[in-house]
Amino acid sequence: MVKHMTWADRLRGGLQKTRAQLNQNAGFLGRDLRSYTRDEGALEDLEMALLAADVGGPATADILRSVQASRRPDLLAALSDALIEQLEPPKQEPAAGSNGLTPWFQPRVKPSPVEPAGHVVMVIGVNGVGKTTTIAKLGQHYMEHGKSVMFGAGDTFRAAAGAQLEVWGNRLGVPVVQGKEGGDPAAVAFDAADKRKARGTDLLLVDTAGRLHNQTNLMQELQKVHRVIGKADAGEPAEVWMVLDAVTGQNGLQQAKKFNEAIALTGVVVTKLDGTAKGGILIPIVRELGVPIKFIGVGEQADDLQPFNAAEYVEALLAQ
């Protein structure tokens, strides 16, 4: 009998390359961190490991300061706390335990759904990050959590994109609003938003054409799509999520900054974490974009895209 892999199993497996990178650059991470003190040598090794994992200089400096100042008795807990703080700053004071501290990792049985702020999510990103497939996975996720879903095929420049989204729609039983090949993507977005409102569908996911951050005319078109959705349905899109390929690392982050300047992001979906040794890129994404990570992907299957939880991520990253 084949054992069903839990999300925790898939996440640990997906972060294997990043974990190996940490161990390669700081061998003590592969051992029992509870036996390590925060001496100068250990902190230097930790600094090298974090930088190699694409955590970035500013965040690494902050993490080291937090580790040094921590009241935790061992390095594992101190490091875990520091990483979680970078990925998901606490919104409230933790409930005190016997020593005034909370456990550094509290696993969940099943990831809880990410509740969009409104009814329309506009999905953007550069070419090749897998936006269309990600939209399909998001659609399946929300349907499993009881939401009615629609797709808007706003990538009218690439015929295959609309066809691909239609295939996914047929497979999932999700209606897809299409336009003419080469037509105005804003018109498709308007039509999709108008139909979602009329039908009372819970969630509309709008695909957009892949574009580079330095293509001014295409970025302006993205802004137009955003505006016309609001004309069809006031207050929408309430969410703008950018799909980032983790393999692109810092390059992808710089692209995201330009997108964020053109159209304010409300969240990021990070895919292909299983294909990179630099999974630490999630930290500078949160720090420098100032928006939360909504979902992460560690494989090709639909279940390999799940809501992001900082504690789960750190536990998988530092799995002993």
Q: Is 13 annotated as a binding residue?
A: no
Tens digit of each residue's pLDDT (9 = 90 or more) over 136-182: 999 999 999 999 999 999 887 776 777 889 999 999 999 999 987 77
Determine whether the annotation assigns residue 208 to a binding site. Answer: yes
pLDDT tens digits, one per residue of 209-240: 776 655 677 788 899 999 999 999 999 999 99
Parts of the chain belonging to CATH 3.40.50.300: 120-317
pLDDT cut 90: percent of the chain above it: 48
Give the burial string for 234-269 (b: 16+ CB within 10 Å, else e): eebbbbbbbbbbbbbbeebbebbeebbebbebbbbb
- Which pLDDT value is given to residue 195? 97
CATH match of 7-87 with 1.20.120.420: no
| Residue 130 is assigned to a ligand binding site | yes
The answer on whether 183 is annotated among ligand-binding residues is no
Distances (CA, A) of 197 to 119, 135, 149, 179: 9, 19, 12, 18
Residue 129 assigned as binding residue:
yes
| Per-position b or e across 103-125, b if 16+ CB within 10 A of its CB | ebeeeeeebeebebeebbbbbbb
Is 270 marked as binding a ligand? no
Helices (H), 31-130: 40-52, 57-69, 75-87
127 is in an annotated binding site: yes
153 assigned to a ligand binding site: no
If you average pLDDT over each of 22-26, 100-104, 181-185, which comes out highest?
Answer: 181-185
Say whether pLDDT at 250 is over 50: yes
- The residues of the chain that CATH labels 1.20.120.140 are 7-87
Would you say 126 is a known binding-site residue?
A: yes
Whole-number Å distance between alpha carbons of 3 and 308: 24
- Residue 155 is assigned to a ligand binding site: no
272 is in an annotated binding site: yes
273 annotated ligand binder: yes
What pLDDT is stored for residue 21 in this prediction? 81
Tell me if 209 is assigned to a ligand binding site: yes
Is 27 marked within a binding site? no
CATH class of residue range 120-317: alpha beta
